[in-house]
Structure 1
Amino acid sequence: MSKFVDQIASYIQAQEIPLSNWTIVLPSERAKQYLQKALFELYGKPILAPKMVTIYRWIQEITPETILDKARLLLQLFEIHKQHAKSTQDFSFDEFMKWGTILLSDFDEMDRYLITSEQLFRNLRDIKEIENWSFGNEQLTDIQKRFLEFWERLPGYYKDFNALMEQNKTIYMGKAYRKVAQNLDLVFKAKPETHFLFAGFNALSPSETSIFTQLHKMGRGHILINADTYYFDDKNHEAGTFMRNLKANLGVKEMSFVGSSLGRDSKKIEIISCAQATGQAKVVGSILESLSSDQLQETLVLLADESLIVPLLQNIPAHVGKANITLGLPLKNSSLRTWVELVFKIQEGIEKYGRTTAYHKDLMHCWGHPFIIAILNDQEIGEVHHREKMMKKYNTVFQNPSKIEVPSLLYQIIQVLYTPWQSDWTVAVDCIRKMNKLIYKHLEKKNEFEKALLEGFDHAIIDFQNCVEEGIPAMSLRTFKTLFQQQWMSASMAYYGNPIEGLQIMGLLETRLLDFKTIIVLGMNEGKMPPTNPIQTMIPMDLRRFFGLPTPREKQGLFAHHFYRLLHACKHMYITYTTSSESINSNEPSRYLMQLELELGSFELMDSDEVV
């Protein structure tokens, strides 16, 4: 069967609309390069490609207001919270942080899903009242009264928060989606003759569905889905749930493009269990070793468990040559995490004991960290080891940081590391960035990985530093740490390469729109695919279901389609999972493996055990 991007390119050509009048809205950045290549090959000559943009970026472009980042939104919500304060405890940012980010997320979802806030909050308040047994004659305690009072305040929070956004000509992402859905003229403001093509989307919120549907009915929106009749026509199959809903909303008899390869074509699937999690990377290396150069051009390594990226990179055979990585390494899974933990641990010690003294174990953790080792030469490392021996010999528990005899560069870092923040968060961020710059400056070319980590980290906290300098509420060190962690722990270190040549290494979300003949799935354990990330919300699941908000079931349906879609063009799939019980993660294979065995009899399934 032809690739989905080729089908999109053929559709665009068949419409006979000037390419300059198209705006192609796609679910991922990676898909843009593949579609550009498909258009070039179809037209057979250089062309001026149509505008291609992800839906997130598209909404940003057409929304006139400034879309604020999460840190600024949280601070503005705290200002609203203080206006509704009923006690001195309500003025504490430390207390607010415990639930403020969750409430922001709920506000965002309410707008994406076009929910009437008054009705939802009224139902929510009634539920909480029933939970506190207030329907009888028993007198409520002060704690229960304060609890119910909080839920009664939420409608005012939402109303006043949005009023403040409007006053400042700012907006949050969920509200931006609602605004575009309710003011469709915004999409034609830049170019009235534009036609919009939405390709490869699966789980759409009601605001997105409204935008797509309105444009479709105007004859200006073209919606192409990537599905198979096997799960699209089966009303009970979770992989086709969202696309069946989209078809119903559009009011059409057929959707483009729905194929039938899953029930027709034979596919070979090899399932490999490994005794150790990292052993899966060695298995992948062996598989790649057996593939020819031409086969590698049509091969995807799919990381169901993205934490295996580092061992995978260490086991890619030399003959593979080009290996292009789309997903980023989550910074929280790198040595940055232990570095930041050390920085805050030292400041917690300074705050606790009220003096700037260096605890010997903290010092050892500092100069034993990969960042520090990377910037010291062999002689300097020897000096540090000697200092460590002397500390142990003379049982030196605490030292004055300014009198520690260590190499000059390490001494500079220690002085910044032990600078007391004293609840001045501008100083805190300055110190963290100064240390990172010192380390970055002295890293050699061979330490490109560490340099990339520090670059990604610094980029993630620049906006936060601006936010801190603009002014943030008084808070404890513990709360500041939580706020700081939120700014960088969700960021990733991007890997770059030619996106359309050589072996492709991706996470599941990056595979949308793309097709491969050979797929190697790494780490397909239950809990990794589909992931079991809990939904952080103040809205009970029954109420979420009533109002059409996503629940864990919808999340599972989303990933089911992503996985089944990869089987459309795949001829040979290798799947690895671990049986190790050393970690807290599940050692059971993903439920999708059982589904493949039970549902698709035309697939040739092979099980094997690898002791690695």
Structure 2
Amino acid sequence: MKSFIEETLDQLLSQPTFNLSKTTFILPSKRAGSFLKHILKQKISGSAFAPQVLSTEEFIEKITSLQTIDNTESLFKFYQVYKKITPKEEQEDFETFYGWAQTLVYDFNEIDRYLIDAEHFFSYLSRIQDINHWALSDPQTNLIEKYLTFWNLIPKYYQLFQQQLLENNEAYQGLMYRIASEKISSYLASNQEQHILLGFNALNNAEQKLFQTILEQNKGQIFWDIDEAFYNDNYHEASLFIRNYKKNWEFYQDENNTITTSSNYSSAKNINVYGVPKNIGQAKYTAQLLSEISEEDLSKTAIVLNDEGLLNPILNSLPQNIKKLNITMGLPLKETPLASLFEVIFEIQQTENQNFYYKPIIDILNHPFILMKLGESSQQLQQQIHQENLVYLSRTQILELSSESTKHLLGEILLQHKTPQSLLKAFTNLCQKLRLEDALDKPLETEYLYHFHQLFVKIQNLIAEQSPIQSIKSLHRIYRDTLETESLDFSGSPFDGLQLMGMLESRVLDFENIIITSVNEGVLPAGKSSNSFIPFDLKKEYGLPTYKEKDAIYTYHFYRLLQRAKNVHILYNTEPGSLNGGEKSRFITQLEIESPVGNEPKHQFLNPLVPARKNELKKIKKTPEVLEKLKALAAHGFSPSALTTYIRNPLDFYKNYVLGIRDTDEVEETVAANTLGTVVHDALEHFYKPFENKNIVKADLLKMKTEIEQQVKFEFEKTYKQAPINKGKNLIIFEIAKRYIFNFLAKEMKEIENDELIIKEVENKLTCDILIPELDFPVKIGGKVDRVDYKNGQLRIVDYKTGKVQAGDLNLKDWSELTQDYKYSKAFQVLCYARMIYAETPFENAEAGIISFKNLKAGFMPFKQIKNTVIDKDTLNQFETELKSLILELFNPEIPFEEKEV
């Protein structure tokens, strides 16, 4: 395959009058220029002076001798113009101005690139706005007057903005194009070189004037890369612009000046279209396609990404056979890990409260760059925040808990900065402090820090003089917009190995093997979105590009890639509802309908292979070490909750009690169910403890009711530590705890009107031995009994539950179900308490049950065996039989801890 550049050079070098040393090549991009130099070097055998090779932007700069300013700098300079023209009482702050000025500067750019008479254009635009919206309003309100004044001021903004820039020898891109179109004749008159214009397609009016002047003055040649299949089709968008140039340029009115076309598109090609779900699916299948390409062919292969979000997934999916890779598009700085750190710092800086919410602080401490610097100090500070349940932290608290290294690193960014300059200085200092000692071993991290330091210095320089930015919020917006345009460039050989690029970087370049990703509608082409004040009909009237022209640009790039390729793989995202996914591009449909005979694309739908997963339940053998741990637990005493955990899932028992694995401490923002339970239990213990072995009377309960709020608050502060309970969900839960206790005491008061109630003991810790002849070591059960009382002489064992419990949960039909079905865990618990109390003080009969605060109407719900609520010696013997059976199973080395299906 001969590339377009190679074909053109062969044609030029065959011309007798062609003088290479007196030639300037002009191409759409710097990358295309690099390829041209590389191919030219191969074509020339002897020594020769190299020609000048320029991109369009470099050529424009050479003609104008002006310095280009970027979009962000344009906005700052435009704001100074805005303040000069706009009366002081009507001036907006920079943040409001920034919202609309971006669009206006973009429109200025377009107007200049297309050489439009700005005064006439803006006059026309202001009249349209007047007619469309406000002309019939009489009298006009203050809002309408301001709106119309804004449109009338735009021409003045434009003129003064241009004037100020040119006085400083500066220009935004569009202005530079306009000036170049005015200076082109004088430039050519003083320059004897021939200009070779190579591989262009969509030209703005300024470029058209430049190129036509070059051609008409016989100072150069132009070479279009267009296939006859598109050029001869008057309806094909790929040739839309070139057909227009042939029709409208004076140069082509001479019959001797023609447009040369190629006939590569109809040559044999292998075109495959793949519908793949999600971006990761595209990345993985791209890797599979690459793994099937030989090393020799990889240097003739390019991956074209239409969605820059695929860059990282593809880099992480590359197969082993990729030895050399050149990435043209660069890694966006916003995609680097360091970007998330500064985003979090901006978040805490814009917090109006004096205290910081804990999550952003944890995010900072957990960030890889902070961890690399602080190590153990960061982990210790996080642990303290979790242990002390600090939902909100003051700067003083953070510094008091921090080590010296943490204070040095984070102290400055935790200050509440009042000015953007102060925060920017803190950011540059942080970049310096984060510098790694082993920078040579971590080049990528060092590169991130360097680029962010540069970014902050750039913004500092922008706002150094008479800064319009007065708030951190405005700075954050400027930072985000500047970050969008910054990227981390990769180094690599552009002529060797696999090439990875965006669609625009592929201009003028040709490859035998092409993989194009994200060929979805809305991505390629991009769709109808337009950030402009200029209405569609006005754009059409003045020849400004609309979404239709933008579609035609991408049509050309897409089909030009296919012209000389032999193997084409087109991937699109089939996932419906996802961003940039679901619908294949119209380009794919067009290929399917219009491709030359024999070159029709083969369409496949791909889905990742999901192997059938056999969910095998885990089994843990009881080793001698495990049995020793169980013996230690038995000697201390198995709690009812431990045994019911075993009944629910033996594997959970193994993790929690044998291995001792517990949930890690987390900051409890909202009061958890177990915390609420602890508060209610402890409050009731405080109220009832003084009345052990006493008869409760109404006056006692009335006194308790007056102390509910104070005691609940105390218990929350003790259990819930420093977390707030005076707002949000916590306030609701605080009120629920008060209501639970109030309702409980009210129910007690009602009951003691007719019944006698004596509190025997409250929150008593008990243990008792369980004699099991089959085991040669002691076994105990132990736990804390919430309350034991006598109601009308009947002994009652009471367990409080803040959750909802139904009477049926305590109604046992068959004793064998007690240790087999977790449904009866509540019955098992109260029987354990009854057995422990019987061991301490034998009784004739008792009732054991639950009071559920969520089901208080049910009152005391006793354990029942069929319909019998009495617990006597026979009942306890039956229970002990089941309990011993359970413990024997627990100690049986032949029965592993086996996971139960959920």
TM-score range, shorter chain: over 0.9
Partner Cα distance (2:264, 2:269) in 1: 10
Q: 1:62 to 1:462 in 2, by over 3 A?
A: farther
Detail structure 1 runs of 4+ shifted over 6 Å in the superposition: none
| Residue number among 341, 344, 351 corresponding to 1:342 in the alignment | 344
Task: Tell me what 1:129 maps to.
Answer: 130
The AA in structure 2 aligned to 1:604 is: E
Task: Compute the displacement of 1:399 (Å).
Answer: 3.8
Deviates more, 1:524-533 or 1:489-498: 524-533
Q: How does 1:391-470 map to 2 (within 5 A)?
A: 391-396=385-390, 397-400=392-395, 403-406=399-402, 409-423=405-419, 425-442=420-437, 444-445=439-440, 447-470=442-465
Alignment partner of 1:497: what SS? coil
Partner Cα distance (1:325, 1:610) in 2: 27
The AA in structure 2 aligned to 1:343 is: I
Task: Compute the displacement of 1:215 (Å).
Answer: 0.6
Structure 1 residue runs without a partner (length 5+): none
Q: How does 1:65-464 map to 2 (within 5 A)?
A: 65-86=66-87, 88-135=89-136, 138-185=138-185, 187-188=187-188, 192-248=191-247, 249-252=249-252, 253=255, 255-262=258-265, 264-349=266-351, 352-353=352-353, 355=354, 357-373=355-371, 375-376=372-373, 381-396=375-390, 397-400=392-395, 403-406=399-402, 409-423=405-419, 425-442=420-437, 444-445=439-440, 447-464=442-459
Task: Compute the displacement of 1:297 (Å).
Answer: 1.6
Q: Deviations over 1:229-288 (max 9, x none)?
A: 1112222211111112222325325555421222x3121111112223212111111111
Q: 1:568 to 1:440 in 2, by over 3 A?
A: farther
| Residue number among 555, 566, 586 corresponding to 1:560 in the alignment | 555
Q: Deviations over 1:513-543 (max 9, x none)?
A: 1111111112222222122373211111111
Q: 1:231 to 1:605 in 2, by over 3 A?
A: same
Do the aligned residues in 2 keep the contact of 1:59 with 1:177 (CA within 8 Å)?
A: yes
The AA in structure 2 aligned to 1:118 is: E
Q: 1:78 to 1:366 in 2, by over 3 A?
A: same
Task: Compute the displacement of 1:173 (Å).
Answer: 1.9
Q: 1:255 to 1:565 in 2, by over 3 A?
A: farther
Q: Deviations over 1:474-532 (max 9, x none)?
A: 43322222122222221221111000011111111111111111111122222221223
Partner Cα distance (1:511, 1:407) in 2: 52
Q: Deviations over 1:516-571 (max 9, x none)?
A: 11111122222221223732111111111111111111111111100100111111
Q: 1:529 to 1:443 in 2, by over 3 A?
A: farther
Alignment partner of 2:496: what SS? coil
Q: 1:147 to 1:299 in 2, by over 3 A?
A: same
For the pair shown, the structure with the greater C-alpha radius of gyration is: 2
Partner Cα distance (2:580, 2:369) in 1: 29
2:486 paired with 1:491: yes
Q: 1:382 to 1:170 in 2, by over 3 A?
A: closer
Partner Cα distance (2:395, 2:454) in 1: 33
Do the aligned residues in 2 keep the contact of 1:62 with 1:186 (CA within 8 Å)?
A: no
Alignment partner of 1:277: what SS? helix
Task: Compute the displacement of 1:296 (Å).
Answer: 0.9
Task: Tell me what 2:672 maps to.
Answer: none
Alignment partner of 2:600: what SS? strand
Deviates more, 1:115-124 or 1:36-45: 36-45
The percent identity for this pair of structures is 28
Partner Cα distance (1:250, 1:497) in 2: 43
The AA in structure 2 aligned to 1:369 is: H
Task: Compute the displacement of 1:218 (Å).
Answer: 0.6
Do the aligned residues in 2 keep the contact of 1:303 with 1:508 (CA within 8 Å)?
A: yes
Do the aligned residues in 1 keep the contact of 2:185 with 2:213 (CA within 8 Å)?
A: no
Partner Cα distance (1:471, 1:185) in 2: 40
| Residue number among 528, 540, 547 corresponding to 2:542 in the alignment | 547
Task: Tell me what 2:741 maps to.
Answer: none
The AA in structure 2 aligned to 1:92 is: D
Task: Compute the displacement of 1:167 (Å).
Answer: 3.1
Alignment partner of 2:279: what SS? coil
The AA in structure 2 aligned to 1:259 is: S
Task: Tell me what 2:713 maps to.
Answer: none
The AA in structure 2 aligned to 1:41 is: Q
Partner Cα distance (1:578, 1:172) in 2: 37
The AA in structure 2 aligned to 1:332 is: K
Alignment partner of 1:213: what SS? helix
Do the aligned residues in 1 keep the contact of 2:592 with 2:600 (CA within 8 Å)?
A: no
Partner Cα distance (1:258, 1:105) in 2: 35
Task: Compute the displacement of 1:408 (Å).
Answer: 5.3
Partner Cα distance (2:537, 2:442) in 1: 51
The AA in structure 2 aligned to 1:328 is: G
Do the aligned residues in 2 keep the contact of 1:40 with 1:46 (CA within 8 Å)?
A: no
Task: Compute the displacement of 1:115 (Å).
Answer: 0.3
Q: 1:17 to 1:463 in 2, by over 3 A?
A: farther
| Higher RCO, Cα 8 Å, sep 6+ | 1
Partner Cα distance (2:510, 2:4) in 1: 7
TM-score relative to the length of structure 2: 0.64
TM-score relative to the length of structure 1: 0.93
The AA in structure 2 aligned to 1:520 is: I
Task: Tell me what 1:28 maps to.
Answer: 29
Do the aligned residues in 1 keep the contact of 2:591 with 2:600 (CA within 8 Å)?
A: no
2:11 paired with 1:11: yes
Partner Cα distance (1:443, 1:93) in 2: 42
Partner Cα distance (2:413, 2:295) in 1: 50
2:533 paired with 1:531: no
Do the aligned residues in 2 keep the contact of 1:180 with 1:186 (CA within 8 Å)?
A: no
Task: Compute the displacement of 1:359 (Å).
Answer: 3.3
Partner Cα distance (2:259, 2:296) in 1: 31
Partner Cα distance (1:342, 1:10) in 2: 56
Alignment partner of 2:41: what SS? helix
Do the aligned residues in 2 keep the contact of 1:196 with 1:221 (CA within 8 Å)?
A: yes
Task: Compute the displacement of 1:369 (Å).
Answer: 2.1
Q: How does 1:564-579 map to 2 (within 5 A)?
A: 564-579=559-574
Do the aligned residues in 2 keep the contact of 1:330 with 1:492 (CA within 8 Å)?
A: yes
Do the aligned residues in 1 keep the contact of 2:134 with 2:144 (CA within 8 Å)?
A: no
Q: Deviations over 1:14-47 (max 9, x none)?
A: 3433322111111112212211121122112454
Task: Tell me what 2:602 maps to.
Answer: 606
The AA in structure 2 aligned to 1:268 is: N
Alignment partner of 2:91: what SS? helix
Partner Cα distance (2:167, 2:41) in 1: 46
Do the aligned residues in 2 keep the contact of 1:305 with 1:524 (CA within 8 Å)?
A: no
2:473 paired with 1:478: yes
Q: 1:165 to 1:33 in 2, by over 3 A?
A: closer
Alignment partner of 1:301: what SS? strand
| Residue number among 497, 510, 517 corresponding to 1:515 in the alignment | 510
Partner Cα distance (1:220, 1:179) in 2: 20
Do the aligned residues in 1 keep the contact of 2:399 with 2:411 (CA within 8 Å)?
A: no
The AA in structure 1 aligned to 2:239 is: G
Task: Tell me what 2:613 maps to.
Answer: none
Task: Compute the displacement of 1:458 (Å).
Answer: 3.3
The AA in structure 2 aligned to 1:8 is: T
Task: Compute the displacement of 1:340 (Å).
Answer: 2.6
Do the aligned residues in 1 keep the contact of 2:63 with 2:183 (CA within 8 Å)?
A: no
The AA in structure 1 aligned to 2:359 is: K
Structure 2 residue runs without a partner (length 5+): 609-902
The AA in structure 2 aligned to 1:120 is: F
The AA in structure 2 aligned to 1:225 is: W
